[in-house]
Copies of this chain bind each other. A is one copy, B any other.
């Protein structure tokens, strides 16, 4: 547990909603599949329509494991919300897999979300003191209770705006009622949420790659603090807050999103390639034979570094494609004998070479150390590590599982010490300002690098 606040779960997930598309389940299936990289531990979907009750299928596992032709038959209707779930440690369990489906005499409703509230513990306590009980550790239940506290007799945009005002933290919420889809984004703009259109209906997604994959057309990003209400009359926009900043999470660019997604108009691959170029510009390696990236998320940055430096870009590390949930991890004994797990180095490529190794981040340093060892064993003569983000010194409370502050290597060690610990010949990080440049933005959430948290941390909100 982190030392700063009574934070909730640290999760990174993906949400998806569909409105007004016949057999919404089909679009959801392919869309959730395109978001799978955001969460592989659970998946689920609720569908409905104005003239029928909501149905749900959810379970532990990948979209293709949870959903099948048989159980999707029950998922009728032209509206849907769905979720891919990533969970940390002990909190894993079917009760935390979303969407949540709530039954109420005033109408059923379904909720799913991405992100993390910083005042969830306070909100839960407040609600519990009034008789609420919780069946999961998820923020989705908190919002549902807040909504019903506002007005037990109905759900409308007024009620939702009031409930959202009690939330402090990072979120993208989708709320589906009998005839409406509410799409809500936190006022800081920490978590992404975008709208597309298809077949006269709408798709709302954590990432724009879903539009490309499903054939939808991108309409626009939902704004920080905005609630977009979709119903038969089209889109309506409301603001639950007048806050005027936009601290998009930098890690979405750096690590989480698919390279074919655009975040606030900036393509993720392009961002990453740009950080690679900036790495070369700011912290070049004097002399090197090849540039290699750690697959998959660091390949774009490695391409950028290679392009900027003119040093050949090579495939020096291979990542196994077939590691699924049933993979038997090699025992300590086997690992000591040299059995590789996910990554292996290509000795024919790196042997005798001075290597520039591009990685997207260093968290605890153990993976970096292991990769450097792999490359040394494969015969690399020099290994110069360049990290396509700044030193990570602070924990995230907004849904990114960056591990506890205690474990962050750069919190306790200077760059040269980290270099020694991971065994590299040189090490440099991307300067903070380069992130803004690559994202072409003046505002970002870079709290994990700087400690400048855009939200309150100790909750004292007046509920």
Contacts and interface: CB of A to CB of B under 8 A. Distances in A.
A51 to B, nearest CB: 16
Copies per complex of this chain = 4
A339 to B, nearest CB: 5
Nearest to A199: B337
Contacts of A339: 26-27, 30, 213-215
A418 B60 CA distance: 46
Interface stretch (A165-173, A323-331, A363-371, A393-401): A323-331
Given A213-B344, A214-B339, A153 B137 contact: no
A178 interface: no
Contacts of A460: none
B30 A334 contact: yes
A213 B215 CA distance: 39
A314 B37 CA distance: 21
A347 interface: yes
B214 A136 contact: no
B103 A334 contact: no
B307 A33 contact: no
Given A213-B339, A323-B64, A134 B328 contact: no
A215 B337 contact: yes
B135 A132 contact: no
A368 to B, nearest CB: 20
A149 interface: yes
Nearest to A27: B339
B128 A59 contact: no
A346 B65 contact: no
Interface in A1-60: 26-27, 29-30, 33-34, 36-37, 40, 56, 58-59
A358 interface: no
A85 interface: no
Contact of A145 (B101, B106, B133, B300): B133
Given A267-B348, A307-B313, A94 B326 contact: no
Interface size bracket, A side: 35 or more
Contacts of A259: 315, 318, 346
Contact of A346 (B93, B128, B133, B269): B269
B318 A258 contact: yes
29 contacts: A26-B330, A27-B339, A36-B320, A36-B322, A37-B321, A56-B93, A58-B94, A103-B135, A128-B148, A129-B153, A130-B152, A131-B149, A131-B152, A209-B318, A209-B344, A213-B339, A214-B339, A215-B338, A216-B338, A259-B318, A260-B345, A267-B349, A269-B348, A269-B349, A270-B349, A303-B313, A303-B315, A306-B313, A321-B321
Interface of A: 26-27, 29-30, 33-34, 36-37, 40, 56, 58-59, 62-65, 67-69, 93-95, 100-106, 124-125, 128-137, 144-145, 148-149, 152-153, 198-199, 209, 212-216, 258-260, 262, 267, 269-270, 273, 296, 299-300, 303, 306-307, 312-315, 318, 320-324, 326-328, 330-331, 334, 337-340, 344-349, 378
Given A94-B94, A102-B135, A260-B346, 4 more contacts: A58-B94, A103-B137, A131-B152, A199-B337
